[in-house]
Amino acid sequence: MSIEEIRRLITTHAHKEDLGLPGVRINRITDPTQPTPSIAEPILAFSMQGAKRIALADRVYDQVPGTFMTVAVDLPITGHYVRASRAEPYLGFALELRSSSIAELLVEAASGLPGILKPPPPGISINPATPEMLDAVARLLALIERPVDAPVLAPLLEREILWRVLSGPAGPTVRQIGLSDSSLTYIGRAIRHLVPTHSNRYRSRNWHS
């Protein structure tokens, strides 16, 4: 399946509150937005059309179509959509990163993954999406139109997407989510303690995808 099929699926189903796929979010934005602060949660966010900009302290990350952003820990960010219109909306897909799912894959992979960098990688990274990743994303989103298949196939496709990410350039960052003693895990706990519970979260109407 191609990126065009992913765009079609997002365009068709972005209005739905419940996709029938836990942990999956899609977004369709038709106008540029102003920079807005929020707390980014651990997530994979794929851009399929349009562009967005994320700022973390003095670092600025521009995300364009065909790339995915990895957020490995709760982080205070400022984000906005910089390229979005009614003729060509911003289209995005996101998958929540759960520590239990990542830890399970790490155990199964054993020594088949590269080591974590020293010092550890940053909590946010942007990398090109591979054809294998996009194919798995397309098959996962296609389950929106096949709800009978979703309970069985969705977990398998989520694992495939996670594995593609873990075994690629973003892997060292994502691996830390599954390691309870990683430095990013401690940072995330500290931020969750400091940020009030009523703060804006990194959800489907903010900068997740």
Residue 119, preceding peptide bond in cis (omega within 30° of 0)? yes
Q: Is the pLDDT of residue 66 over 90?
A: yes
For the record, the structure tokens of 14 come out as 């972005």
Angle between the N-to-C axes of helices 99-109 and 150-166, in degrees from 0 to 180, rounded to the nearest 10 = 70
Report pLDDT for 131. 96
12 in Cβ contact with 52 (< 8 Å): no
For 55-80, the DSSP string reads: EETTEEEEE-TTEEEEE-S-EEEEEE
pLDDT tens for each residue of 90-124: 999 999 999 999 988 888 876 656 555 555 567 88
Domain ranges of the chain: 3-194
Report pLDDT for 185. 46
CATH number of 3-194: 2.60.120.280
Q: Is the pLDDT of residue 48 over 70?
A: yes
48 in Cβ contact with 3 (< 8 Å): yes
Nearest one of 116, 54, 117 to 80, comparing CA atoms: 54
Angle at 82 between CA 42 and CA 14, to 5 degrees: 60
Q: Are strands 90-96 and 59-63 parallel, antiparallel or unpaired?
A: unpaired
Across 102-106, 150-154, 195-199, which has the greatest mean pLDDT?
Answer: 150-154
Q: Is the pLDDT of residue 157 over 90?
A: yes
For residue 36, the surrounding DSSP H or E stretch is strand 36-40
